[in-house]
Amino acid sequence: MGEVKTEKKGLGGMAGGFITTSLNAMIGWGRKYSLFQYPFITACCGMEYMSVACAHYDLDRFGMGWTRFSPRQADMLLVVGTITHKEAPVLKTVYDQMTEPKWVVAFGACAVSGGIYDNYAVVQGIDNIIPVDVYIPGCPPRPETVLDALIKLQKKVQKEGHEWRFSKKK
Protein backbone atom coordinates (compact mmCIF):
# COMPACT_ATOMS: atom_id res chain seq x y z
CA MET A 1 0.00 0.00 0.00
CA GLY A 2 1.58 3.22 -1.04
CA GLU A 3 1.26 5.85 1.58
CA VAL A 4 1.24 9.47 0.49
CA LYS A 5 3.37 11.57 2.76
CA THR A 6 1.94 14.98 3.41
CA GLU A 7 3.80 17.75 5.07
CA LYS A 8 1.95 18.98 8.08
CA LYS A 9 3.83 22.09 9.02
CA GLY A 10 2.08 25.27 9.95
CA LEU A 11 -0.72 26.04 7.59
CA GLY A 12 0.36 23.49 5.00
CA GLY A 13 1.68 24.03 1.48
CA MET A 14 -1.09 25.93 -0.22
CA ALA A 15 -2.12 28.26 2.55
CA GLY A 16 1.46 29.08 3.54
CA GLY A 17 2.27 29.92 -0.06
CA PHE A 18 -0.74 32.16 -0.23
CA ILE A 19 0.19 34.03 2.91
CA THR A 20 3.83 34.63 1.91
CA THR A 21 2.82 35.77 -1.57
CA SER A 22 0.29 38.17 -0.15
CA LEU A 23 2.80 39.42 2.40
CA ASN A 24 5.37 39.94 -0.35
CA ALA A 25 2.84 41.85 -2.37
CA MET A 26 1.86 43.97 0.58
CA ILE A 27 5.42 44.85 1.65
CA GLY A 28 6.34 45.52 -1.95
CA TRP A 29 3.30 47.76 -2.38
CA GLY A 30 4.14 49.68 0.77
CA ARG A 31 7.75 50.13 -0.20
CA LYS A 32 7.30 51.12 -3.77
CA TYR A 33 4.99 53.99 -2.90
CA SER A 34 7.19 55.36 -0.13
CA LEU A 35 10.60 55.52 -1.76
CA PHE A 36 12.47 58.22 0.13
CA GLN A 37 15.15 59.57 -2.15
CA TYR A 38 18.62 60.88 -1.53
CA PRO A 39 19.69 63.02 -4.49
CA PHE A 40 23.46 62.93 -4.96
CA ILE A 41 23.71 65.77 -7.45
CA THR A 42 27.05 66.81 -8.89
CA ALA A 43 26.50 68.30 -12.34
CA CYS A 44 24.19 69.60 -15.07
CA CYS A 45 21.75 66.66 -14.87
CA GLY A 46 20.66 68.26 -11.60
CA MET A 47 18.60 70.76 -13.60
CA GLU A 48 16.65 67.92 -15.12
CA TYR A 49 16.27 66.29 -11.74
CA MET A 50 14.74 69.51 -10.44
CA SER A 51 12.19 69.60 -13.21
CA VAL A 52 11.28 65.96 -12.53
CA ALA A 53 10.96 66.50 -8.82
CA CYS A 54 9.08 69.80 -8.97
CA ALA A 55 5.55 70.61 -10.02
CA HIS A 56 5.79 70.13 -13.80
CA TYR A 57 6.49 66.42 -13.70
CA ASP A 58 5.90 65.91 -10.00
CA LEU A 59 7.54 62.79 -8.64
CA ASP A 60 5.17 62.93 -5.69
CA ARG A 61 2.41 61.45 -7.85
CA PHE A 62 4.35 58.20 -7.77
CA GLY A 63 5.07 58.24 -4.07
CA MET A 64 8.72 59.19 -4.20
CA GLY A 65 8.54 62.88 -3.63
CA TRP A 66 10.08 62.98 -0.22
CA THR A 67 13.70 64.02 -0.34
CA ARG A 68 15.79 63.01 2.64
CA PHE A 69 19.13 64.70 2.92
CA SER A 70 20.40 62.05 5.26
CA PRO A 71 21.49 58.74 3.79
CA ARG A 72 20.29 56.99 6.95
CA GLN A 73 16.69 57.81 6.15
CA ALA A 74 16.77 57.24 2.41
CA ASP A 75 15.76 54.19 0.36
CA MET A 76 16.74 55.32 -3.08
CA LEU A 77 20.08 56.88 -4.02
CA LEU A 78 19.80 59.04 -7.12
CA VAL A 79 23.28 59.61 -8.55
CA VAL A 80 22.76 62.62 -10.79
CA GLY A 81 25.79 63.85 -12.73
CA THR A 82 29.47 63.30 -13.25
CA ILE A 83 31.37 61.39 -10.58
CA THR A 84 35.09 62.05 -10.50
CA HIS A 85 37.73 59.84 -8.96
CA LYS A 86 38.17 62.48 -6.27
CA GLU A 87 34.52 62.16 -5.36
CA ALA A 88 34.24 58.39 -5.59
CA PRO A 89 35.08 57.74 -1.90
CA VAL A 90 32.31 60.16 -0.87
CA LEU A 91 29.71 58.38 -2.98
CA LYS A 92 30.82 55.02 -1.62
CA THR A 93 30.51 56.30 1.96
CA VAL A 94 27.02 57.66 1.32
CA TYR A 95 25.96 54.33 -0.15
CA ASP A 96 27.42 52.41 2.78
CA GLN A 97 25.61 54.65 5.23
CA MET A 98 22.20 53.93 3.73
CA THR A 99 20.27 51.24 5.55
CA GLU A 100 18.76 48.21 3.81
CA PRO A 101 16.64 48.04 1.76
CA LYS A 102 18.30 50.42 -0.68
CA TRP A 103 18.21 51.00 -4.40
CA VAL A 104 20.49 52.98 -6.67
CA VAL A 105 19.56 54.89 -9.81
CA ALA A 106 22.24 56.06 -12.26
CA PHE A 107 20.79 59.26 -13.68
CA GLY A 108 22.25 60.44 -17.00
CA ALA A 109 25.05 59.34 -19.30
CA CYS A 110 27.78 60.49 -16.92
CA ALA A 111 26.59 58.37 -14.03
CA VAL A 112 25.89 55.42 -16.34
CA SER A 113 29.19 55.31 -18.22
CA GLY A 114 31.21 58.47 -17.70
CA GLY A 115 29.39 60.03 -20.65
CA ILE A 116 31.45 62.35 -22.81
CA TYR A 117 34.19 62.50 -20.19
CA ASP A 118 36.50 59.62 -21.02
CA ASN A 119 39.49 61.14 -19.26
CA TYR A 120 41.84 61.05 -16.29
CA ALA A 121 39.35 62.57 -13.86
CA VAL A 122 36.01 60.82 -14.31
CA VAL A 123 34.81 57.42 -13.10
CA GLN A 124 33.59 55.45 -16.10
CA GLY A 125 30.19 54.58 -14.69
CA ILE A 126 29.18 54.52 -11.04
CA ASP A 127 28.71 50.74 -11.21
CA ASN A 128 32.49 50.75 -10.81
CA ILE A 129 31.89 51.86 -7.24
CA ILE A 130 28.42 50.69 -6.14
CA PRO A 131 25.77 48.31 -7.53
CA VAL A 132 23.10 49.98 -9.67
CA ASP A 133 19.44 48.99 -10.12
CA VAL A 134 18.27 51.27 -12.92
CA TYR A 135 20.27 53.08 -15.59
CA ILE A 136 18.77 56.18 -17.19
CA PRO A 137 20.42 57.15 -20.50
CA GLY A 138 20.46 60.65 -21.93
CA CYS A 139 22.56 63.77 -21.63
CA PRO A 140 20.54 64.91 -19.78
CA PRO A 141 17.57 62.49 -19.81
CA ARG A 142 14.11 63.84 -20.52
CA PRO A 143 11.86 63.93 -17.45
CA GLU A 144 9.61 61.35 -19.12
CA THR A 145 12.57 58.96 -19.36
CA VAL A 146 13.24 59.46 -15.67
CA LEU A 147 9.62 58.78 -14.75
CA ASP A 148 9.66 55.66 -16.93
CA ALA A 149 12.83 54.44 -15.22
CA LEU A 150 11.49 55.12 -11.74
CA ILE A 151 8.26 53.27 -12.52
CA LYS A 152 10.45 50.36 -13.66
CA LEU A 153 12.23 50.56 -10.32
CA GLN A 154 8.87 50.45 -8.55
CA LYS A 155 8.03 47.26 -10.44
CA LYS A 156 11.32 45.80 -9.30
CA VAL A 157 10.64 46.79 -5.70
CA GLN A 158 7.18 45.27 -5.92
CA LYS A 159 8.56 41.92 -7.08
CA GLU A 160 11.16 41.55 -4.37
CA GLY A 161 10.60 38.44 -2.23
CA HIS A 162 10.71 38.24 1.54
CA GLU A 163 11.18 34.50 2.00
CA TRP A 164 14.47 35.21 3.74
CA ARG A 165 12.46 36.51 6.69
CA PHE A 166 11.01 33.05 7.37
CA SER A 167 13.89 30.79 6.41
CA LYS A 168 16.58 29.85 8.88
CA LYS A 169 19.86 31.67 8.65
CA LYS A 170 22.59 29.54 7.18
Tell me how far apart the alpha carbons of residues 131 and 103 are, in angstroms, rounded to a whole number.
Answer: 9
Least distance in Å: CB of 76 to ligand SF4?
18
Phi, then psi, of 77 in degrees rounded to 5: -100, 115
Binding of residue 127 to other proteins (CB under 8 A): yes
Least distance in Å: CB of 46 to ligand SF4?
8
132 touches 126 (CB < 8 A):
yes
The sign of the torsion formed by the CA atoms of 108, 114, 117, 120 equals positive
Least distance in Å: CB of 136 to ligand SF4?
9
Give 83 or 136: the residue with its C-beta nearer to other proteins. Answer: 83
Tell me how far apart the alpha carbons of residues 109 and 37 are, in angstroms, rounded to a whole number.
Answer: 20
CA distances (Å), origin 15, targets 5, 21, 28, 158: 18, 10, 20, 21
Least distance in Å: CB of 151 to ligand SF4?
21
Which residues contact residue 68 at a Cβ distance below 8 angstroms, ignoring those fewer than 6 apart?
A: 36, 37, 38, 74
Binding of residue 121 to ligand SF4 (CB under 6 A): no
Residues 102-121, interacting with other proteins (CB under 8 A): 119-121
- Interaction partner, residue 120 (ligand SF4, other proteins, none; CB < 5-8 Å by kind): other proteins
Give 25 or 116: the residue with its C-beta nearer to other proteins. Answer: 116
Q: Which of 39, 81, 125, 143 binds ligand SF4 (CB under 6 A)?
A: 81
Binding of residue 28 to ligand SF4 (CB under 6 A): no
Least distance in Å: CB of 142 to ligand SF4?
11
- The residue ranges that bind ligand SF4 (CB under 6 A) are 43-45, 81-82, 108-110, 115, 139-140
